[in-house]
Amino acid sequence: MFRSFRDTRRLLHAARVLARHDALVPREYAERAPFPLKVAQFFFGGPRKADINVPPGVRLALALESLGPAYIKLGQMLATRPDLIGDEIAGALECLQDRLPPFPEDVARAAVETELGRPLDEMFSIFGEAVAAASIAQVHRAMTADEEPRSVAVKVLRPGIELDFARDLSAFAFAARMAERVSAEARRLRMIALVDTLAASVALELDLRMEAAAASELAELTVNDRDFRVPAVDWPRTAGRVLATEWIDGTPVRNPAALVEAGHDPKRIAVLVIRSFLTQALRDGFFHADMHQGNLFVDAEGRLVAVDFGIMGRVDPAMRRFMAETLGGFLARDYMRVAKVHYDAGFVPRTHAIETFAQALRAIGEPIFGRAAPDVSMSKLLQQLFDTTRRFDMELQPQLVLLQKTMVVVEGVARSLDPEFDIWEASRPVVESWMIENMGPEARLRDAADGMNAIGRLARELPTMLRNAELVSAMLAEGGLRLHPDTARQIAEAQLARTRHVRIAIWIAAGALGVLAVALL
């Protein structure tokens, strides 16, 4: 009860902030808003004068920024869900800034010493001021105190950030449960699963050892990629709240003019961004899920270098196959094939005719091929796909949320480098190569060999299985199965313990109900 009260109080505070920014019931949508929301807007008061001429999506972004880190992360996830908030607002949230003023340098120094258990001077000969500060952590440039000093980036978590996130995520989960309890649409959109996905992502971001492990894993997977690399992790200077990695002296991707000045072709880098992402997602099933301009650099050798591995995505083999066949089907304009992939995966209820679903996919795909590349927007395509999922009762696949978000982000990065960028032509070689490798004749031969190996293992185990079956049959013929005395005793003890635990649970539940009844009187 106390947690529900606390969650409700935090949600009311958030509603008050949203109302002040005219983002709770935006005036542009006030006529269509449900009556309870109109009452809430009246209760929490009108908007600030400063927000009067600001578009609704920007007002929402400003409100979420002011509410803190958890709401910034929520806004970034909502940017991938135009089916929930509309294309215009989703587009505005894509620009949601994850930047905050840095916390004091002496606090960062103390945190590093506490986490690593050594005086700062023993680890770093130079420890500079913060060069970047976000909602979760900030980064300092430092020089190691080794015989051969190395320049490193030291990432330090904000003080108290774990508690702040825990409180807000608890409120989000409470709101999601209430929404699914009263709304069929909320259940279809799997609001609880969305909050769980956000919570899991944040939990990884708040343990910098996990980020270090992600960087190390991605480095291993891409070690043979000529045009992509990952900074090396400095493990002795890394702990739960501190992460040290190789410092990258590269040209930031956010500055096309600087890329040209450094001798790089922005159009080539645009293609590299898309293909690196797709290669990681399809080939490796493990991808950098925060590939915005601030996290991408180009080194002197022309390689794309990614930093900040707090948000990573995984795609299992079945989902990778689904994704590749869907992209391949769209590229080949084979909409019945795409529809069949969705039905085989169980994403579309078979109460809907596959031919009708293929027709809906054609309505999405055909306009793309009849337009110039600059006119094809991935965010608009996703909006149409979300509309289609609603029409055909498809449930959201949480595994694909980060994938969808990253696809939109990397397309934006590529377009900023090359306004004429054709995402489909850039994607085609990666998709086709993966499909040949995993679905071509050689792949079928490998699958057949795996099947033969499985049959071989079964054949080797068959005699033992037959002997066990004969023993069971004989016992049944003689009056029933017989257990070894030790086994029987262990089962009996376990059953007694289980019964005792059930009784204790019933007493605890009865006591809790009694307390609740007294509280309500």
List residues with catalytic annotation.
290
Interatomic CA distance for residues 270 and 260, integer angstroms: 13
- Dihedral Cα 73, 75, 78, 84, nearest 10 deg: 140
What angle, rounded to 10 degrees, do the helices at 335-344 and 317-332 form? 160
Q: Which two tokens stand for residue 183?
A: 């709304």
Interatomic CA distance for residues 145 and 124, integer angstroms: 5
| CB atoms inside a 10 Å sphere around CB 520 | 7
Q: Which two tokens stand for residue 285?
A: 């099933």
Half-sphere exposure of 384 (CA within 13 A, CB side): 14
DSSP secondary structure letter of residue 153: E
List, in sequence order, every beta strand (DSSP E) within 65-146.
124-133, 137-144
Interatomic CA distance for residues 139 and 117, integer angstroms: 19
DSSP secondary structure letter of residue 29: G
Interatomic CA distance for residues 211 and 233, integer angstroms: 10
Interatomic CA distance for residues 4 and 186, integer angstroms: 20
List, in sequence order, every beta strand (DSSP E) within 212-365.
228-229, 242-246, 251-252, 286-288, 296-298, 304-306, 312-314
List residues bridging with 286 in a β-sheet: 314
List residues bridging with 470 in a β-sheet: none
Query: Which run of H or of E encompasses 154?
Result: strand 151-157
* CA dihedral sign, ordered 388, 393, 396, 397: negative
